[in-house]
Structure 1
Amino acid sequence: MLPSLLLPLVGVLFVGGFSARSYLWAALGVAGTVVFAIIRWATFTYEIVGDRLETKRSLISRSVRTIPLERIRGVDVSTPPMHRLLGLAVLKIDTGASGGDEEAELDGVTLQEAERLRAVLLRRTARPETHAPDLAGPGERVIIGVPRRWLLYGPLSGAYLLTPFALAGGAIGLTFQWGDDLGLDQDAAWSAGEWLWDHPYLLLVAVLLLVLAMPFVGGVMYAVFNWDFQLKRRDGYLVAERGLINRRSVSLESARVRGYEIVDGLAERWAGVVRAWAIVTGLGDSETRGQLLPDVPRVVAYQVTADAIGPYRAPLRPHPPVARNRRLFRAVFPWAVLSLVSAVALLATGTVLWWFLLVPSLLLAAVGVPLGLDRYASLGHGYDGVRLAVRSGSLRRSQAVIERRAVVGWRLRQTWFQRRAGVLTLIAGVGAGKGGYSAIDMSEAQGAGFPAEVTPEWLAPFLTSRTPPTP
């Protein structure tokens, strides 16, 4: 708990002017935190009783939380810097409960105890499923260890590119918050703002430096979080381990994995790299806990997902040409209208400011053509007899591969514009992941035929024709 007190203690010292009284308050804060932490540690116990885990806390009021072992979806073990220094770990139990109200966390157990508890809590070996590759094999096998040179792909994901601006914003916020203690009053802030206004090139240079720092700082942050990424199969579980400062290990029960999602952006697509997440039933926080792969070459991602979960062996079927027209219209028409309005206003008024609206809108309209074509090329759906796949998006293209047994329902959605165009959106309801995955702008024939192909037994009673009685 002490590292979390660093900023408040510095604030107390600044507010108190580093006087004897401020040091006294800081010392009292540290002592009170230590005492409180010791009391919490002494009044917290955990125990595995039969088929359930019980945690008890009796600091002020006594509380007992019981978690059936059969509801445990995963066990995460992480080692933040202070814990690693002391040989400790944080063990978090995921039950897939909404909002995480029924999750338990054991903060401060030894590494040996964390590994022992992980083995005990996950002792139920996953049952092998049809078409699932070697899910319940004993022992541990490394599926892939991501080479460190592939961490150079990190800036392409864009996940941490805004880190320099966040750091700069935080520094400015702290300066204003502690401005009086640092000798910077409101008049000084206004003077600094006026000086920057009189020297706009310096502000422009600062922004350019932050922009140039984006890929470097973003790449460093990406490497810190995904350092030494390993995906393993251990006793019926998929285990993903990663992290440089905070080493984290996430376990996903293979029997509950229903598919995977492969994602790439424009920059990643040009470089031929993708990311992958697992689609798991009852998994909270799937964006982080379900990660199977960071940025890796596309061929490697398909090999790993096929080995860990199962391959998809059918081409994606294209969507009708009207879907392309809809994407071109939405990508070009708004900017074309804005360009026309700007051009008319420029001719009518002669105001130079209209150029600042006309030129960007023309550029965006021109960029909309390849963007619309790429969005159409990204559309697709397919079925190989075991798994179905749907794909869409351009700036963030996502292909979801789902096992047929995971589909629990179908939903057809058609807006007014889609009805006019003769297309629709088909949503495959899945009791895992996002809950539903969409095939956008299919033809009406495809929307009727695809569910009948994937789940024919559902539709057969409604498609049986009757022979009319002879008169």
Structure 2
Amino acid sequence: MNGDGGEEWRRLNPRMLVVHPFHVAVRAVPALLGLFVAGSRNGVSGHVWSFGGLGLMIVLGVLQWFTTTFRITDEHVQVRKGLFRRQVVTVPRDRVRTVDVTSHILHRVLGLARVEIGTGRSDQKGGGAVKLDALGTAEAAHLREELLHRRPASAARTGEALTAAPAATSVGVATGPADGDPAAGPGTGTGAGQAAWAETTGAGQAVASTGHVEAGTAPRGDSAPVTWDAGQEETELARLRPHWIRYAPFTLSGVVAIGVVAGFLSRLANEGGVDLRQIGALRDGWEWFTDIPVWTAIAASVVALIVFVAVASTLGYVMSFWGFRLTRHSGGTLHVARGLVTTRATTIEERRLRGVEVSEPLLLRAVRGARLIAVTTGLRVGRGAQRGGSMLLPPAPVAEAERLAEVILAPVPSGASPRETSPGEASPITVPLVPHGPAALRRRFTRALGVNALAVLALLALWEWAGWPAWTWIAALACLPFAALLAADRYRNLGHAMTPEYLVTRWGSLVRRRVALERDGIIGWNVTRSFFQRRAGLATLTATTAAGRQGYGVSDVTMSEAIDLATAGIPGLLDPFLVVPEKHTP
């Protein structure tokens, strides 16, 4: 029995006929502008071409509803889509790792949600994810319950599924067994205690937390009531404080906004055949800018850039983390709710949590700020912690990040967490780190100063024989002190420690990271030695894991230190590869 027979194919919500054409039309604005200009130059009214192109885009958007169907069987998730190129995407239900239910502003107005079913195979585009855009909010939550509880599809539709709140706008859940995760095998259900989840409204305020419900409470349309489970206890671990917003300008997320705006304007100008030099205001501004002294122009540009980045970063921080709230539930889960316009709630099963990462970008570290990231299986990391859903704390005081990390790594009073802490064991967040030796220090200075010196010599040669301006090699020479400071900081931030429960490693300068990785989550060791490391007698030991970045390294330690760490981390694993020198008796 394959479980695929007898299940009816379902369609997306008819209200998506408003969403898709709108999204397609917005993305096609530069092309429509190009059609307008091209049509005007050919003697035809430009609006005719534009309306024709817009009508074609709307038709393509509408066709997605007629050509997309899906069904959830006892063993598979299947999606059929496409008109000229028909596709059938099939995902085994026991391979489902995450279900993200997201509602953007237009979705929220229409009571819709976009569902993305991830298998954890890849973070790249198309890497195993199945997208359904869009479903009703209640139907999306219902579908999420079907998949995460591993229930038979027929049973879930007869009333055993969780009742969903219409205000739920975004849910991201790490569930199902992850590859290499020793805590669960294929097809393992989450259980009633691990089914706890949070739904959010407007500013991300948690309004529902439940495990399982009685039969007969299945969703009945988008206005179905929420069923609470009185047995679930919720403990708030962190909440956004208004004064945390002062850390936003130091995240530099506004730099991305500059690239997006510049790219959009460039594409708009190219598609529309617009010569920016012919726009009076831009031309006058450029003439004024070129007429002022060079150093004044540079200072004005730097100030304008700093102001723009600071404002954009602050707005992005507020949009992403407004209403942030982290809670722990007695069922063994952590819940993160956040967002202003687009809200999102992420549920992480603590049995899949393999550690935490305290991340401190350089500017954020300068003002004593940090972020906290979960090292867990089943959540995406390739697109960044924020988009992947693994961020446990937005930029906030470093003391708050360290406090929260210790609370998360501590055993849960209810006993839901499998982690244990030995009496008197030092916290992996504050445990003193073992510094790396003088060879690691020399290696950092050699790399930093050597590369800079080569750049100075190359620019000096180009100035002498190719006529390059002298300021190029002078600027490179002036960077030598900064390279030395960078090397010193990189060495100062380098360290590791091994506690009875965790491997702790720290590295980086532009972004300093301290990772506490649970030793039970390490599935292997990788020892690498580059040409220059071999000359210096050093090696890099990488702990491989199914969680987070799939590998966390201890850089530039001696070979004996690497072997000792690996042996202490997983006793007996390296024994078949070690050669014990024979002792000769006299």
Q: TM-score range by the shorter chain?
A: 0.7 to 0.9
User: Matched residue of 1:328: which SS?
Assistant: helix
Equivalent position of 1:111 in the other structure: 137
Does residue 1:123 correspond to 2:149, yes or no? yes
| Cα shift readout 1:341-379 (whole Å, capped 9, x = no counterpart) | 999999x99x99546633x34432222333222111111
User: Matched residue of 2:344: which SS?
Assistant: strand
Q: 2:391 aligns with which of 279, 286, 291?
A: 291
How far is 1:393 from its partner?
0.8
Equivalent position of 2:128 in the other structure: 102
| Cα shift readout 1:130-171 (whole Å, capped 9, x = no counterpart) | 9xxxx9485643443222431321221223235336524643
User: Matched residue of 2:574: which SS?
Assistant: helix
User: Matched residue of 1:16: which SS?
Assistant: helix
How far is 1:83 from its partner?
0.9
Matches within 5 A, 1:304-323: 304-309=404-409, 312=428, 314-323=431-440
Q: 8 Å contact 1:97–1:282 — kept in the other structure?
A: no
Aligned counterparts of 1:272 and 1:238: Cα–Cα separation in 2: 26
Q: 8 Å contact 1:75–1:93 — kept in the other structure?
A: yes
How far is 1:269 from its partner?
1.4
Aligned counterparts of 1:402 and 1:29: Cα–Cα separation in 2: 54
Q: 2:444 aligns with which of 327, 333, 354?
A: 327
Note closer, same or farther for the CA distance 1:9–1:352 as it changes in structure 2 (3 Å cut): closer
Aligned counterparts of 2:470 and 2:63: Cα–Cα separation in 1: 67
Q: 8 Å contact 1:126–1:255 — kept in the other structure?
A: no
Q: 8 Å contact 1:328–1:372 — kept in the other structure?
A: yes
| Cα shift readout 1:224-270 (whole Å, capped 9, x = no counterpart) | 23332333456555443333232233444443332232211222112
TM-score, length basis structure 1: 0.82
User: Matched residue of 2:254: which SS?
Assistant: coil
Matches within 5 A, 1:6-25: 6=26, 7=29, 8-17=31-40, 21-25=45-49
Does residue 1:426 correspond to 2:541, yes or no? yes
Q: 8 Å contact 1:268–1:274 — kept in the other structure?
A: yes
Q: Identity across aligned pairs (percent)?
A: 30
Aligned counterparts of 2:308 and 2:345: Cα–Cα separation in 1: 30
Letter in 2 for 1:295: P
Aligned counterparts of 1:338 and 1:368: Cα–Cα separation in 2: 12
Aligned residues: 462
| Cα shift readout 1:260-285 (whole Å, capped 9, x = no counterpart) | 32211222112221123223335444
Aligned counterparts of 2:53 and 2:584: Cα–Cα separation in 1: 90
Note closer, same or farther for the CA distance 1:452–1:193 as it changes in structure 2 (3 Å cut): same
Q: 8 Å contact 1:312–1:387 — kept in the other structure?
A: yes
Equivalent position of 2:265 in the other structure: 171
Aligned counterparts of 2:577 and 2:267: Cα–Cα separation in 1: 64
How far is 1:52 from its partner?
3.2
Q: 8 Å contact 1:157–1:268 — kept in the other structure?
A: yes
Note closer, same or farther for the CA distance 1:117–1:169 as it changes in structure 2 (3 Å cut): closer
Letter in 1 for 2:261: L
Equivalent position of 2:109 in the other structure: 85
Higher helix share: 1
Aligned counterparts of 1:68 and 1:342: Cα–Cα separation in 2: 57
| Cα shift readout 1:14-72 (whole Å, capped 9, x = no counterpart) | 44349984334433444444444344223433333224333334745664433232211
TM-score, length basis structure 2: 0.67
User: Matched residue of 1:118: which SS?
Assistant: helix
Q: 1:42 aligns with which of 56, 66, 89?
A: 66
Does residue 1:405 correspond to 2:520, yes or no? yes
Structure 2: tracts of 5 or more residues without a match: 1-19, 151-174, 185-192, 198-208, 210-233, 411-426
How far is 1:95 from its partner?
0.8
Does residue 1:244 correspond to 2:340, yes or no? yes
User: Matched residue of 1:245: which SS?
Assistant: coil
Aligned counterparts of 2:562 and 2:254: Cα–Cα separation in 1: 38
How far is 1:173 from its partner?
5.0
Aligned counterparts of 1:336 and 1:183: Cα–Cα separation in 2: 41
Letter in 1 for 2:402: Y
Note closer, same or farther for the CA distance 1:223–1:278 as it changes in structure 2 (3 Å cut): same
- What RMSD, in angstroms, separates the aligned Cα atoms of the two structures? 4.2
How far is 1:86 from its partner?
1.2
Aligned counterparts of 1:104 and 1:169: Cα–Cα separation in 2: 29
Note closer, same or farther for the CA distance 1:431–1:138 as it changes in structure 2 (3 Å cut): closer
Note closer, same or farther for the CA distance 1:407–1:250 as it changes in structure 2 (3 Å cut): same
Equivalent position of 2:531 in the other structure: 416
Q: 8 Å contact 1:47–1:55 — kept in the other structure?
A: yes
